[in-house]
Amino acid sequence: MRHRVVIVGGGFGGLAAAKALRRAPVDVTLVDRQAHHLFQPLLYHVATGILSQGNVSPPLRDVLRHQANASVVLAEVGGIDLERRTVECALLDWSWEIEYDTLIVAAGARQSYFGRDEFALHAPAMKTIDDALEVRGRIFGAFEVAELEDDPAKLAAWLTFVVVGAGPTGVEMAGQIAELSRHSLPSNFRRIDTRTARILLLDGGPRILPTFGEGPARKAARKLESMGVEIRTGTLVTNVDATGVEVLTADGGERIEAMTKIWSAGVQASPLGASLAAQAGVETTRAGQVPVEPDCTLPGHPEVFVVGDLMSLNGLPGLAEVAMQSGRHAGQEIRRRLEGKTEPRPLRYVDLGSLAAVSRYYAVGERKRTQVSGFVGWVFWLVVHLTFLTGFKNRTSALFHWIISFFGRSRPERTITAQQVFAREALASSPPAASRPGP
């Protein structure tokens, strides 16, 4: 029997691991609750009408179609038994176990509401295709309702957009909503002036883009403010409801009336991390990450690799590049073991830098001591994202959509449905009978 490798999660880490085992004498089973790989850094382009969901989510089976030793299983992972070396899977009314010789856990992370999960009902996150489509429905739907509103106070609320969290996703989202309202939509409406839309970017920290240096963060802030975005740092969100948010600053509390709220503050690792840590006898971090050995293996379990957002190693950030490099490292280590090289090698992470697109033709970035901004930064951003998009078809399609959006004023993906706008409310009023944590 050939060596059995099970990979939990089809994100950046899991897919990189599977590809690293392309020519290895192993049988690879990739398990994910979704049938697609998600290029999460571009979800906000789906939410603001630039890209379609297909541009950022190629089917996993299609991505791995030429890899004969890899198969894809659509299932939720309910648990992992380290002693028996099994992965518990479930889909609809079926449940089964998959045995492994080596396990790679790349289950990723989800949005964190810091213990206030009820906020998700009114302030969706940006972690899944469903999230992006719902946010798109809420953004474009807000302008549609505003066109019909006669009450000045309600009109102002419909034209107020609050983005919570000023990391790269929040900054990029706020910038795109500003672009949308100032450049793409004004000629589409007759009763309202979309350029009067109010966009607020809130964060509890002292500045935006906290993972960037002060120089790029300062330039990004100036650009956002020139576009009309109100930046409020040192601002804690204490409540979110259907019609607004309540915040707390050094000057006291305040309520902001806003019908559209988007949450991009904080992440929490997959619940599978807590289960793995408990079985291995280690403590997870506050964000639920699992401490791993230098070679990305679970302490006491060299047959289990934990990669990407789920691992805690040397303070590495939760970036796509970290996930890809750690996933690739896990695959390479398995190949070395099969070749008889048992001495573990530590992960040597190569920092490729950070980029954030503030608006069309303007991005900020840095790598070590090198900083870029403006049009040059935007070109770097464009090249990097085209390079890392999975598949030639997706790259070509995304480039076509970008040409339409960036060099013109149109947003080609503006279709919204009632299901997108109201799906979360419907789910909250009639939750599924049972749910299980998964990758």
330 and 369 inside one domain: no
Kindly state whether residue 57 falls inside one of the protein's structural domains.
no
The yes-or-no verdict on residue 212 having pLDDT over 60 is: yes
Which helix (H) or strand (E) element contains residue 45?
Answer: helix 43-47
Kindly state whether residue 63 falls inside one of the protein's structural domains.
no
Kindly state whether residue 397 falls inside one of the protein's structural domains.
yes
Average pLDDT over residues 283-298: 95
Kindly state whether residue 333 falls inside one of the protein's structural domains.
yes
Count up the domains in the chain and report the number: 2
- State the pLDDT at residue 439: 43
CATH of the domain at 309: 3.50.50.60
217 and 139 inside one domain: yes
279 and 151 inside one domain: no
Q: Extract the tokens encoding 66.
A: 């030429």
Q: How crowded is residue 337: how many other Cβ atoms within 10 Å of its Cβ?
A: 16
The yes-or-no verdict on residue 438 having pLDDT over 60 is: no
Kindly state whether residue 22 falls inside one of the protein's structural domains.
yes
The domain boundary residue, chosen from 313, 338, 363: 338
The yes-or-no verdict on residue 436 having pLDDT over 50 is: no
Q: Extract the tokens encoding 434.
A: 């049972």
Query: Of the listed 76, 88, 97, 172, which one is catalytic?
Result: 172
Kindly state whether residue 384 falls inside one of the protein's structural domains.
yes
135 and 256 inside one domain: yes
- 172 an active-site residue? yes
Which helix (H) or strand (E) element contains residue 351?
Answer: none
Map residue 79 onto helix, strand or coil.
Answer: strand
The domain boundary residue, chosen from 315, 338, 361: 338
The yes-or-no verdict on residue 344 having pLDDT over 90 is: yes
151 and 245 inside one domain: yes
283 and 406 inside one domain: no
164 and 313 inside one domain: no
Q: What would the DSSP string read from start to end of 272-323?
A: HHHHHHHHHT----TT-PEE--TTSEETTEEEEEE-GGGEE-TT--S-HHHH
Residues spanned by the domain of 191: 117-265+353-426
133 and 102 inside one domain: no
The domain boundary residue, chosen from 338, 362, 385: 338
**Per-residue pLDDT reduced to its tens digit, 149-160:** 999 999 999 999
- State the pLDDT at residue 433: 43
Please name the residue that has the structure tokens 């403006």. 374
- State the pLDDT at residue 432: 45
